[in-house]
Amino acid sequence: MYFRQVHLDFHTSEKIEEIGSRFQKEAFQRALKAGHVESVTLFSKCHHGWSYHPTEANEMHPHLSFDLFGEQIRAAQEIGVNVVGYLSAGLDEKFAVRHPECLARRRDESILRTADFTTAGYHLLCMNSPYLGILADQVREMCQGYPVSGVFLDIVKPTKCYCRNCVALMEAEGLDPENEAHVALMAEKTYAKYAKTMRAAVDSVDPSLTVFHNGGGTPRGRRDLMAMNSHIEIESLPTGGWGYDNLPLTARYVQPMDMDFLGMTGKFHLSWGEFGGYKHPNALIFETALAVANGGKCSVGDQLHPDGQMDEETYRIIGEAYRRIEEREPWLEGVRGVADIGLLSYSAWLASHPEEQAGDAERRLSDVGALRILLEGKYLFDVLDCESEFENYKLLILPDNVKIDGGMKRKLDRYVAAGGKLLASGRSGLLLDEYGQVGNFAYDLGVTHRGDMPMKPVYLSVEDKLEGIRPAGYVIYAQTQRAELTREGSALAALHEPYFARTAKHFCSHFHAPEKKEFAGVGVSEGKHGIYLASAMFREYAAVGSRISKQAVTAAIDRLLGENKTVTVELPAQGIVTLMEQGALERSVLHLLYAPRGSKGTEKLEIIEDAIPLYGVEVALKTRERAVARVYSAPEGENLAYTVDEKGVLRFSVPKVLLHAMVAIEWKKEEKLP
């Protein structure tokens, strides 16, 4: 895997002539050098279905007169740039038009992605059709004919399909096409067959080649799908629909698995397919820094003009970011993230519990709210699924609706027996029996569950037991649970209801009724095994960004972690901190990032433009009984003054953070503090 990659899109219509007519080897090389690029993904076949080289397994673009793919490869490898070969897998518009019988279809036989052939757009092909063998031939031909290091296959994921091929196959295997679960099972089987076929095609030429199947995201909780890849490429263009939450959320899930991954952003102002769009260089510096700060590598998406001429401005912008990455690579190699907290992803939990029904927003909001609170609180965390090991975390967070079945309970029993703590919210922490029935809390969180609160919103009445929160009655819009304190439990905050729900006969003022200042249940409780928040606070924070939801969660986290928080640092809310260990070098690397984001346009895109410096950022870091040899800024190598107190806390000040700062802490080998 390479730190500095470019994904060079080239989806080119047959209606455009003179393809590659302005391609020049020297200009192509000059652009890659200006961009500090060390690996590039080049197109063998695009979404339109055309190949960009002579082919027997497909057809070359009708307006291409030479082997563009081959010339690009030779130009790149001549200057030491690695090449990955791209083939559009799920989309091939030329084939789709000629063979509509091979298209994936819904139950009503409508086609996927684009509604018809009178609308601009591509149409998804079914891998249970003859197209699968044709695609395998194209992959095999590219690998045989060109010295690529790997294969990138695009627009592929398990997809429910009711085409005649899938229906016939389901019936042949004893599955019922009218049963939604059986259709979903066939989608999984079809995808597995596709991935196995592609791997076999590659292996027939060279088993050492990498293969990545891109479906637009890395689904948490689907390790089986991840294992079909040689590595993971996290497609995450912030202005292209992914936002700035997706990369850290996915990276913190993949990184603990010791699987190579890269964060893929783009040079575009908006997203893929945008010609003439350029994001601010500061945005690209921040986005590539965010990838490496989370233990990954980088890929930047670009799109080549049909005439084959590279855009100089694009590679100037990419070069600004990649020059910085190149300088920092000695401190980015062979890292492993440090985490105090394990966040058990709700979307990952749902992947292990397909019987649970949840809409797309519900799947996303709890994880996103938890991510934002943890990032803004400057906590070190990993994102976990039901297969993760819990023992290495001081605290596990179960956000909003993560219920506990028998298998998870056995793991959590070991975790809490060893002193691990839980933070649960909403319906999380409730025991789920073998019949799918929900019972009481599986662990001592200080309360007994009594069902849903009938009123929405409710008020969280805080007095003086949650540190950092001033006494008041705070409105909470998310669904809240009714909880009754146990004899051993402690109430940290109470719930109050409004006077009445807002109806045509009962309403007050513009929004909702005020707080009726009477006890209606426990809002925050503490028991032997952790703390419980009765409201779905993580969803609340993602949905409305209320300050109290973040304050309640961070107060609970700080109470449970106590003095065990590894890093404490003062950064603005949008600042990010990560800590990586380079074990082989006896070195820790602290990453500090800060870039203010503004909301622009009718789509309210998150845009980074300004690089605002922060000065004198104070850091406190637990040494874990290791003796400090040196603290310095990387890559500058400037020593930083530091102290270590009697509790083994290392303190130093970072002189300046401009988008991204790195501090290296070198430890004395095999030496312990007295």
Check residue 358 and give its pLDDT.
Answer: 73
Across the chain, mean pLDDT equals 95
Query: Given CA atoms 320, 322, 323, 329 in this order, what sign does their dihedral have?
Result: positive
Structure tokens at 101: 């019988």
Would you report the helix, strand and coil content of the chain in percent, each value rounded to 5?
A: 30, 30, 40
Tell me the helices (H) and strands (E) count for the chain, helix number first.
Answer: 15, 32
Check residue 435 and give its pLDDT.
Answer: 78
Contact 247, 291 (CB under 8 A): yes
For 280-290, write each residue's pLDDT tens digit.
Answer: 999 999 999 99
> Looking at the predicted structure, is the pLDDT value of residue 670 above 80?
no
Which pTM was predicted?
0.95
474 forms beta bridges with 460
Cis upstream peptide for 330 (omega within 30°): no
For 138-192, write each residue's pLDDT tens digit.
Answer: 999 999 999 999 999 999 999 999 999 999 999 999 999 999 999 999 999 999 9
**What gap in Å lies between CA 15 and CA 276, rounded to an integer?**
20
Which residue type is seen at 342?
Answer: G
10 Å CB burial of residue 485 (0-12, 13-18, 19+) is middle
Structure tokens at 628: 């400090």
- Strands (DSSP E) contained in 468-611 are 472-476, 481-485, 490-496, 521-527, 530-533, 567-569, 576-582, 587-594, 597-600, 605-608
Phi first, then psi: what are they for 232, rounded to 5°? -120, 135
Mean pLDDT value of segment 509-514: 90
Which residue type is seen at 381?
Answer: F
For 309-365, write each residue's pLDDT tens digit.
Answer: 999 999 999 999 999 999 999 999 999 999 999 999 999 999 998 888 777 677 789
Question: Reduced to 3 states, what is the DSSP secondary structure of residue 434?
Answer: coil
Q: Cite the DSSP H helix spans in 84-130.
A: 93-98
Check residue 135 and give its pLDDT.
Answer: 98
Q: State in Å, rounded, how far the first CA of the chain is from the last one.
A: 41
Percent of the chain with pLDDT over 90: 90
Structure tokens at 113: 């992605």
Choose the weakest-confidence range: 260-264, 475-479, 509-513, 588-592: 509-513
Contact 401, 365 (CB under 8 A): no
> Looking at the predicted structure, is the pLDDT value of residue 637 above 80?
yes
> Looking at the predicted structure, is the pLDDT value of residue 671 above 60?
no
Mean pLDDT value of segment 533-550: 96
The DSSP-derived string for 348-407 is: HHHHT-TTS---HHHHHHHHHHHHHHHHHTT--EEEE-TTS--TT-SEEEE-SS--B-HH
> Looking at the predicted structure, is the pLDDT value of residue 674 above 70?
no
Check residue 672 and give its pLDDT.
Answer: 52
**What gap in Å lies between CA 614 and CA 616, rounded to an integer?**
7
Query: What band does 584 get if pLDDT is binned at 50, 70 and 90?
Result: confident
Percent of the chain with pLDDT over 70: 99
Return the closest-CA partner of residue 10 out of 35, 28, 36.
Answer: 28
Query: What band does 427 get if pLDDT is binned at 50, 70 and 90?
Result: very high
Mean pLDDT value of segment 504-522: 90
> Looking at the predicted structure, is the pLDDT value of residue 227 above 60?
yes
Check residue 356 and give its pLDDT.
Answer: 81
Mean pLDDT value of segment 115-121: 93
Phi first, then psi: what are they for 324, rounded to 5°? -65, -40
Which residue type is seen at 3?
Answer: F
Cis upstream peptide for 158 (omega within 30°): no
Which residue type is seen at 83?
Answer: V
DSSP assignment letter at 669: E
**What gap in Å lies between CA 630 and CA 627, rounded to an integer?**
9
Q: Is 274 left (phi over 0), alpha (psi -120 to 50) or beta?
A: beta
> Looking at the predicted structure, is the pLDDT value of residue 566 above 70?
yes
**What gap in Å lies between CA 355 and CA 364, rounded to an integer?**
17
> Looking at the predicted structure, is the pLDDT value of residue 626 above 80?
yes
Choose the weakest-confidence range: 91-100, 221-230, 504-513, 624-633: 504-513
Query: What band does 391 get if pLDDT is binned at 50, 70 and 90?
Result: very high
For helices 547-561 and 360-376, angle between their N-to-C axes, nearest 10 degrees: 60
Return the closest-CA partner of residue 278 out of 262, 258, 301, 295.
Answer: 301
> Looking at the predicted structure, is the pLDDT value of residue 673 above 70?
no
The CA distances from residue 482 to 180, 453, 468, 494, in Å, are 34, 5, 25, 11
**What gap in Å lies between CA 531 and CA 423, rounded to an integer?**
5
